[in-house]
Amino acid sequence: MVFTRGEGVYVYDAQGRRYLDFVAGIAVCALGHADPGVAAVVAEQARCLVHLSNLYHTEPHLRLAEALVARSFADRVFFCNSGAEAVEAALKFARKYARVRFGGHKVGFVAFTHGFHGRTMGTLSVTEKAAYREPFAPLVPGVTFAPFNDVEAARAAITEETCAVIVEPIQGEGGVHVATLEFLQALRERCDAVGALLIFDEVQCGLGRTGTLWAYEAYGVEPDLLTVAKPLANGLPIGAVLMREPVAAVLQPSDHGSTFAGGPLVAAVALHVFRRLSDPAFLARVREVGAFLRARLEAAGLPGVRAIRGRGLFLGIEIAGDARAVVAAALERGLLVTTAGDTVVRLVPPLIVTEAQIEEAIALLKAAMEAAGSSR
């Protein structure tokens, strides 16, 4: 099967068959496919300036950084090209901060079960799942894993030797698990007590997907660093680390960098996308449609459902059977969905999805789950 084009919430294969896309490039195409506004910015900026390297400033990346700072806890932004690069950079910045502020002993990271932070050597080191890690061991030493949402275990794991704690406020790849308020509050308190930095990885849950611009806003708990990527340029590769001034203050030119990062083409698109995603009316609509999706899923009588988790348009359906069989059966019926672990079907549609498209998706999903025997 080869896909040739997309339009809004639909994609089309080479035979002209239409699919309803509830994957969105894995939580990337928040504004859907072939968005005319995005296309116009790509064309306009491509005619103007595509790349210069980070040796020079350009207007798009300065304006994008300004916009991200104006709408977040952060004072400074570092640009890169992907989610893994953003996490990698955040880990390096945390190490540098601890070294400058406290000396060389404070190098430990604390991360959590079911967390996923990327596939580079550094990001794999803070990703718990053995299947991702073991083929590439040994990884970066000094990482302690604690059970997600276990306040006491987290308090014990975070010590004076910890330079940073990394957590997804809503875990994606690991099965769509939502952090409790008590958990994030305890991480913040404990990090402050031992002088560790708190990193929120919002590569998947950030930028409006959960109905607030940042997932952390729903908790009222702020990080010191935040990683963002996937939807920022609606499919063009970009990542960013948002951070507070004291962290930025320890970084010197050439401590870290990247040839392509924050280039004017991708930054111009990201600025356009960010303005639209951060519009309060857009976010209110995500909350409305997200609540509709959840309510309709709960009322649909889907077979073999054990739990429905998530927030906004970031939902996971835990089933009794094999999630991959449901994904395959849905594809046959013209619906794209993906997994989040062996038993979770993940729904991350474009944020422009309508109620009618949700009804259509649920009917296809129900047929797929019945065909796949997901209750077995």
- Asked whether 191 and 97 are in contact (CB, 8 A), the reply is no
Token pair belonging to 287: 């909350």
- Asked whether 172 and 339 are in contact (CB, 8 A), the reply is no
Q: How many CB atoms lie within 10 A of CB 218?
A: 19
310 binds ligand PLP (CB under 6 A): no
Of the candidate spans 77-85, 97-105, 143-151, 330-338, the one that interacts with ligand PLP by CB under 6 A turns out to be: 77-85
CB of 24 to ligand PLP, least distance (A): 12
87 binds ligand PLP (CB under 6 A): yes
Which element (helix H / strand E) includes 315? strand 314-319
For residues 304 and 350, which CB has a smaller minimum distance to ligand PLP in the complex?
350
- Asked whether 49 and 365 are in contact (CB, 8 A), the reply is no
Is-cis flag, bond preceding 138, omega within 30?
yes
In which residue are the tokens 């803070």 written?
126
- Asked whether 115 and 148 are in contact (CB, 8 A), the reply is yes
Give the span between the Cα atoms of 99 and 103, in whole angstroms: 4
Q: Which of 74, 203, 286, 325 binds ligand PLP (CB under 6 A)?
A: 203
Q: Fill in the per-residue mask, 100 to 139: x = in contact with ligand PLP (CB under 6 A), - = not in contact.
A: ----------------xxx---------------------
Give the span between the Cα atoms of 106 and 122, in whole angstroms: 17
Q: Which residue's Cβ lies closest to ligand PLP?
A: 83
173 binds ligand PLP (CB under 6 A): yes
21 binds ligand PLP (CB under 6 A): no
CB of 56 to ligand PLP, least distance (A): 25
For residues 203 and 365, which CB has a smaller minimum distance to ligand PLP in the complex?
203
Q: Which of 23, 64, 80, 84 binds ligand PLP (CB under 6 A)?
A: 84
Binding residues vs ligand PLP (CB under 6 A)? 82-84, 87, 116-118, 168, 172-173, 201, 203-204, 229
